[in-house]
Chains A and B, each alone.
Chain A
Amino acid sequence: MKFRLILAVWACKLAIFASRLLGKNGSSMPGQIALKICPKLLTLLSSQVKRDVIVVCGTNGKTTTNNLLAAMIASQGHQVVCNTLGANMIWGVCCAFCEKTNLFGKLSADFACLEVDEASTVKVFAHIKPDLMVVSNLFQDQLDRYGAVDLTLDYLRRALSLSPDTKLLLNADDPLVAQLGEKTERICYYMGVDEKVSEETGENNEGQFCGLCGSRLSYEYYHYSQLGKFSCSGCGFHRHELDFRVHTVTLSDGLNFSLDHQGQTAVFDVNYRGFYNVYNIALSYSAAVLALGSVPNYQAVLSAYKPQVGRMESFSIGEKTVILNLAKNPAGFNQALATVLGDKRKKNVLIGVNDNPSDGQDISWFWSVDFERLQDASVQNLVVTGFRADELMLRMKYAGFSEEKQVKTKDLKEAVAALVIGEAEVCYALVNYTVVFTMQEILKAMEGGAEHGA
């Protein structure tokens, strides 16, 4: 077995090296090779982690939450295995372990922080028994790939049944997530935002029904989508008491909030955009506190953190600020729109949607996004792009932007060029998965070009 493990690690490292030479970040193929050679690879390597293995799941914000968590743990001088780039299927997890393993098959890591695609959890938990699993939210996402949310919940339940000792850190505000903590002996911790934050984060909420008994849930207040302070009149299921209680949230200038845990209050003041990042930050901090007891320098870690591609990523092009954001489902898009609405400057907005297999080929979801709200957002120019620009233009027509008010092009370069003209001070590009990478390159090149020209 040892021989197979070593061979697999070598092969994986070599394949990672080779694919990087080819300029690819893809971390699935090397993991596939490694698992072929040594099917027990993950069991053998994860059992060498000296302290905790932590898994992060949730439809939106996995990468940010997991990377922040890994950074907080690493800041305390620990060695951490982490699938930083967001390759979150079983092969990506394999690669992350192999990279931290030496050529004799010995892993040097105190912790592992792994974001895992919900549909891959059953496969991963067959090998890895995490100490803690963080579940942040469950939203409808790429139905042609994942199916309905119920199916995702089913994956998580099956995965958890393979690992009875795994503790849970749950988003208490999400009734779909919080039901994982009901009817179980498992140790569960709850994090939630314990106040109504702002009108602007709310979208047109449709009813939510109790996952346990099927009755309609009632809400004292909503945060967004189905997140909020809920209770069920049918079975008594309600927003749990909070072990990690977020309060005093302000969104006007970056994010400010306080988090209470066991009588201690941590105060957060960061230059991030988007209310949903309160959840990402609070969950990563809470998980780090559960793992380490305390994280004294969390504020410095948060300030130093560089977001991944297109997470409200900012570029300076000429006089204008361009903000690039990845959004791939109604919840993500509605949250991005809330951020756009919170910015009172005159603005240009670009919406880009591709329908490649990795984006999801069914684009029905963008009819569920509340684009109507953009009418109140001082939008100067509206650009629609991506393979599905035609249907986006139609969607925006129904949202109150006539064809004449829109620029439509499937060429991403032309789209960016149309985004950065006019009187607007700030430009938002809200795009889905395969658009975001190309658009980031275009924006980087334009930013660089402008600097050279100056």
Chain B
Amino acid sequence: MERKTIRIGHLFPELLNMYGDKGNILALKNRLVWRGIDAEVVTFGIEDEIDFSTLDIVLLGGGADREQEMVCKQLMSMKQALSNYIEDGGVMLALCGSYPMLGKTFQLQNETVSGLGILEIETEKTEKRHIGDCIVQTDITGSELLLVGFENHGGKTRIGELKPLGTVRHGFGNNGEDGSCGVIYKNLIGTYLHGPLLPKNPALTDYLLSCALKRKYGEDIALMPLADRAEEEAHDYIVKRFIKE
């Protein structure tokens, strides 16, 4: 059998490194390697050219305002390529400040500015930052499951007609009002849940990997189950803390 390879593009970690996004890369990479699939992580600096057609998964993490602004400027220059990648079913995870940046407007230094406009979403300022643990119920994998994470954002995002990643069971989510959290468009997932989201949500990680494998190899590839004791305990601790059955 031919060996499969997934190429993961980590965009601008030198700028978007606020919330331990390294954990997401570790999870994507290791969950491939543990299954005998090769994983190649390509790290891009802010001046680097990016050929999206060579990538199977793109990770865009969270940064502070100044850094987010530099990233937005740079991505603006490759907007069409990024948009094509997403429309073509390219897998992408945009977290924290990078999520609203994909929309028409977002918040920088307490001001509403133009985003990349790739998604039909809009973000305005919250009165008070939304900070805390967040639990989201989602059915993206075909069965109901809970995602756990931490959010810290000063923007309220409205996703209009788009499908949310899930519904908020604890915390704020997109805007603290309509119960939605994140967005899912084709194989792009955007969410305010930041930092090490993937290690403790292995089902979400595997979902992204499955999508990438299917796009690249054109068939459903069953992912071998892994021993996920540590993953499950880290996940369940937060669920049990906030959700009483």
Taking beta carbons and an 8 Å cutoff, which residues of A are in contact with B?
A: 140, 143-144, 147-150, 206-207, 209, 214, 216, 361-368, 388, 390-391, 393-395, 397-398, 403
Selected interface stretch from B18-26, B85-93, B114-122, B208-216: B18-26
Picked from A214, A363, A367, the residue with its CB within 8 Å of the CB of B22 is A367
Interface string of B222-245 (1 = CB under 8 A from A): 000000011101101100000000
Contact A393 B17 (CB under 8 A): no
Tell me the nearest residue of chain B to A151, going by C-beta: B64
Picked from B13, B20, B27, B46, the residue with its CB within 8 Å of the CB of A364 is B20
Selected interface stretch from B75-83, B174-182, B192-200: B192-200
Nearest-neighbour CB distance to chain A for B131, whole angstroms, equals 5
| Chain A residues, Cβ within 8 Å of B23 | 364, 367, 395, 398
Nearest-neighbour CB distance to chain A for B72, whole angstroms, equals 13
Interface string of B57-88 (1 = CB under 8 A from A): 00000001111001000000000000000000
Given A150-B64, A367-B196, A390 and B19 contact (CB-CB distance below 8 Å): no
Given contacts A214-B66, A362-B152, 18 further A-B contacts (CB under 8 A): A143-B152, A144-B150, A144-B152, A147-B64, A148-B65, A149-B64, A206-B14, A207-B15, A361-B150, A362-B131, A362-B150, A363-B150, A367-B21, A368-B22, A393-B230, A394-B230, A397-B230, A398-B30
Tell me the nearest residue of chain B to A367, going by C-beta: B20
| Chain B residues, Cβ within 8 Å of A143 | 18-19, 152
Tell me the nearest residue of chain A to B151, going by C-beta: A362
| Chain A residues, Cβ within 8 Å of B36 | none
Nearest-neighbour CB distance to chain A for B99, whole angstroms, equals 15
| Chain A residues, Cβ within 8 Å of B229 | 403
| Chain B residues, Cβ within 8 Å of A362 | 19, 131, 150, 152, 195
Nearest-neighbour CB distance to chain A for B208, whole angstroms, equals 17
A394–B226 alpha-carbon span in the complex (Å)? 14
Nearest-neighbour CB distance to chain B for A363, whole angstroms, equals 8
Contact A390 B233 (CB under 8 A): yes
Contact B200 A394 (CB under 8 A): yes
Contact B150 A209 (CB under 8 A): no
| Chain A residues, Cβ within 8 Å of B124 | none
Given A144-B152, A150-B64, A398-B26, A390 and B20 contact (CB-CB distance below 8 Å): no
Number of A-B contacts (CB under 8 A): 93
Number of residues of chain B lying within 8 A (CB) of chain A: 38
Contact A148 B30 (CB under 8 A): no
Contact A364 B196 (CB under 8 A): yes
Tell me the nearest residue of chain A to B63, going by C-beta: A148
| Chain B residues, Cβ within 8 Å of A216 | 46-47
Nearest-neighbour CB distance to chain A for B178, whole angstroms, equals 24
A201–B139 alpha-carbon span in the complex (Å)? 46
| Chain B residues, Cβ within 8 Å of A206 | 13-14, 17
| Chain A residues, Cβ within 8 Å of B30 | 398
| Chain B residues, Cβ within 8 Å of A361 | 131-133, 150
A149–B66 alpha-carbon span in the complex (Å)? 10
Tell me the nearest residue of chain A to B194, going by C-beta: A364
Taking beta carbons and an 8 Å cutoff, which residues of B are in contact with A?
A: 13-15, 17-23, 26-27, 30, 45-47, 64-67, 70, 131-133, 150, 152, 194-196, 199-200, 229-231, 233-234, 236-237
Centre residue among B21, B30, B234 by max chain A CB count within 10 A: B234
A150–B15 alpha-carbon span in the complex (Å)? 13
Tell me the nearest residue of chain A to B24, going by C-beta: A367
A-B CB contact pairs (8 Å), 19 listed: A143-B18, A144-B150, A150-B66, A361-B133, A361-B150, A362-B131, A362-B150, A364-B23, A364-B196, A367-B20, A367-B22, A367-B23, A367-B26, A388-B237, A391-B234, A393-B233, A398-B199, A403-B229, A403-B230
Centre residue among A149, A209, A394 by max chain B CB count within 10 A: A394
Contact A148 B18 (CB under 8 A): yes
Contact A390 B230 (CB under 8 A): yes
Given A143-B152, A144-B152, A368 and B17 contact (CB-CB distance below 8 Å): yes
Tell me the nearest residue of chain B to A208, going by C-beta: B14
Nearest-neighbour CB distance to chain A for B66, whole angstroms, equals 6
Nearest-neighbour CB distance to chain B for A333, whole angstroms, equals 12
Tell me the nearest residue of chain B to A391, going by C-beta: B234
Contact A209 B15 (CB under 8 A): yes
Tell me the nearest residue of chain A to B152, going by C-beta: A144
Tell me the nearest residue of chain B to A366, going by C-beta: B20
Contact A150 B65 (CB under 8 A): yes
| Chain B residues, Cβ within 8 Å of A393 | 230, 233-234
A366–B23 alpha-carbon span in the complex (Å)? 9
Picked from B64, B194, B234, the residue with its CB within 8 Å of the CB of A394 is B234
Contact B26 A148 (CB under 8 A): no
Tell me the nearest residue of chain A to B150, going by C-beta: A362
| Chain B residues, Cβ within 8 Å of A391 | 196, 200, 234, 237
A402–B70 alpha-carbon span in the complex (Å)? 39
| Chain B residues, Cβ within 8 Å of A149 | 64
| Chain B residues, Cβ within 8 Å of A388 | 237
| Chain B residues, Cβ within 8 Å of A367 | 19-23, 26, 195-196, 199
Counting from the closest, the 5 A-B pairs by CB-CB distance are: A367-B20, A364-B195, A148-B64, A207-B14, A367-B23
A454–B35 alpha-carbon span in the complex (Å)? 54
Contact A390 B196 (CB under 8 A): no
Contact B14 A394 (CB under 8 A): no
A209–B196 alpha-carbon span in the complex (Å)? 24
| Chain A residues, Cβ within 8 Å of B65 | 148, 150
| Chain A residues, Cβ within 8 Å of B200 | 391, 394
A398–B28 alpha-carbon span in the complex (Å)? 11
Tell me the nearest residue of chain A to B19, going by C-beta: A364
A207–B64 alpha-carbon span in the complex (Å)? 14
Contact B45 A394 (CB under 8 A): no
A114–B47 alpha-carbon span in the complex (Å)? 43
